[in-house]
């Protein structure tokens, strides 16, 4: 199941270079590795994670696995030498996140990403040395957001981002991706499982491909290299 230590270990065995995971706060100040804002997908009840304690989250059955904490995940990642892409699912976690990164000596082995500029501003205030990735998708049709997605430079500068993390189907991505790379930003594209699309993004200069299938992605990239 996603966002579990079992899944992370599988990704490592499939030779992933880095693991992306999602972070949510609990009501008692802990950080858990969990994607959704509530638990409905796993237990049929829309219990809001931010209103639950760590103990309550630990009782949740996620496909036969337990919800891990950020601390447990950092401990595992350090023990196996696995860099992490930590997505902050909402603002307000920067202080605790940085505390844990320093405690487990992982601050130089992560990039922290978010859709929320406030979350990245908070991170920059707490520790400006930690790389920040600005996530962009296509869920909104607000004109100002659409413009930012099509031409991200202003937003990246305002946030002080070091990387841009766009959705692979973002309109205009193939045109703007090389320009963002030439401007000095990393571009890590999500979530790409189609081998043809993986190869095309690599050709365009993507720094990283976020995928559900690391082994298949590696095979696609190896084929792309052979065809050059």
Give the phi and the psi of residue 221 in degrees, each rounded to 5: -70, -35
pLDDT band at 105 (very low <50, low <70, confident <90, very high): very high
Instruction: List pLDDT tens digits, range 51-69.
Output: 999 999 999 999 999 999 9
pTM above the 0.75 mark?
yes
* The CATH number, out of the four listed (3.20.20.190, 3.30.1380.20, 3.40.50.410, 1.10.287.3510), of the domain defined by the range 1-129: 3.20.20.190
Whether residue 15 has pLDDT greater than 90: yes
Query: Fold match between 1-129 and 131-228?
Result: yes
Rounded Cα distance, 174 and 55, in Å = 45
> What per-residue confidence (pLDDT) applies to 129?
98
Rounded Cα distance, 6 and 21, in Å = 13
> What per-residue confidence (pLDDT) applies to 142?
67
Whether residue 204 has pLDDT greater than 70: yes
Question: By mean pLDDT, which of 27-41, 86-100, 135-149 is the weakest?
Answer: 135-149
> What per-residue confidence (pLDDT) applies to 147?
75
Q: What does pLDDT average to over the chain?
A: 95
Whether residue 125 has pLDDT greater than 90: yes
Q: What are the residue boundaries of the structural domains of the chain, listed by start?
A: 1-129, 131-228
pLDDT band at 171 (very low <50, low <70, confident <90, very high): confident
Q: What is the CATH number of domain 131-228?
A: 3.20.20.190
Whether residue 217 has pLDDT greater than 60: yes
Degrees to nearest 5, angle at CA 149 with 143 and 154: 95
Per DSSP, the three-state class of 180 is helix
Whether residue 75 has pLDDT greater than 80: yes
DSSP H/E element including 33: strand 31-33
> What per-residue confidence (pLDDT) applies to 141?
55
> What per-residue confidence (pLDDT) applies to 139?
66
Whether residue 203 has pLDDT greater than 60: yes
């Amino acid at each position: 199941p996603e966002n579990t230590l079992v899944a992370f270990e599988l990704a490592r065995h499939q030779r992933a270079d880095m693991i992306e995971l999602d972070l949510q706060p609990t009501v008692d100040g802990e950080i858990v590795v969990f994607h959704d804002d509530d638990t409905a997908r796993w237990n049929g009840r829309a219990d809001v994670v931010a209103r639950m304690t760590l103990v309550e989250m630990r009782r949740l059955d996620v496909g036969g696995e337990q919800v891990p904490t950020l601390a447990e995940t950092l401990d595992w990642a350090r023990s196996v030498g696995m860099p992490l892409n930590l997505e902050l699912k909402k603002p307000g976690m920067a202080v605790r996140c940085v505390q844990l990164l320093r405690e487990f000596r992982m601050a130089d082995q992560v990039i922290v990403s978010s859709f929320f500029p406030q979350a990245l501003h908070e991170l920059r205030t707490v520790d400006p040395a930690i790389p920040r990735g600005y996530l962009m998708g296509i869920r909104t049709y607000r004109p100002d957001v659409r413009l930012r997605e099509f031409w991200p430079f202003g937003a990246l500068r305002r946030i002080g981002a070091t990387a841009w993390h766009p959705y692979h189907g973002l309109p205009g991505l193939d045109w703007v991706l090389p320009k963002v790379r030439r401007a000095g930003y990393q571009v890590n594209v999500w979530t790409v499982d189609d081998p043809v699309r993986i190869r095309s993004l690599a050709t365009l200069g993507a720094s990283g491909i976020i995928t559900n299938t690391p082994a298949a992605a590696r095979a696609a990239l190896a084929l792309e290299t052979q065809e050059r």
